Amino acid sequence: MYEMNLTLDLPYGQALEKVKETLMANHLGVVSDVDVQAIFKNKMDKEIPAYHIYGACNPRLADRVISAEPNAGTLLPCNFIMREEGNKTVVSFMDPVSVLGLSENAEVRAVAEEARGMIEKAMEQLQN
């Protein structure tokens, strides 16, 4: 599977703060934000609930990937989405093992396993 997800019983804004805090506590920072809701509104005049694609990164892990295989940077950062579903928020993390597994480099694959562990730990904390 290419992703791992959970649903938070929180409105989007509160869920976003909780996710960011939990990721930071697990050494993952949010480095990018694509506001799909705003893009759809601006480009197609289409209304959708809150939907963002975020990039999460641990610079030391990213450095290991890029040092081992410079072009594998195309597979970074670890993306996750957050989308509003009623009064709840769905959070879906890209599985780094699925994506970085496209590389045949052993170090890149080792980083993928480490990153997956960090994400799984954060997901466990978010569910509590």
Contacts of 85 (CB under 8 A, 6+ apart): 7, 49
Query: What separation in angstroms does the CA of 80 have from each of 61, 106, 120?
Result: 17, 24, 13
At 46, is the pLDDT very low, low, confident or very high (cuts 50, 70, 90)?
Answer: very high
Report pLDDT digits (tens) over 10-43: 999 999 999 999 999 999 999 999 999 999 999 9
* pLDDT tens column, 71-114: 999 999 999 999 999 999 999 999 999 999 999 999 999 999 99
Q: Which domains does the chain have, with CATH numbers?
A: 3-126 (3.30.310.70)
Confidence (pTM): 0.93
pLDDT of 1 > 90? The answer is no
**What number of other Cβ atoms are within 10 A of residue 54's Cβ?**
21
* Residue 126 identity: L
CA gap 90, 83 in Å, rounded:
5
From CA 115, how far away is CA 55, in angstroms rounded? 13
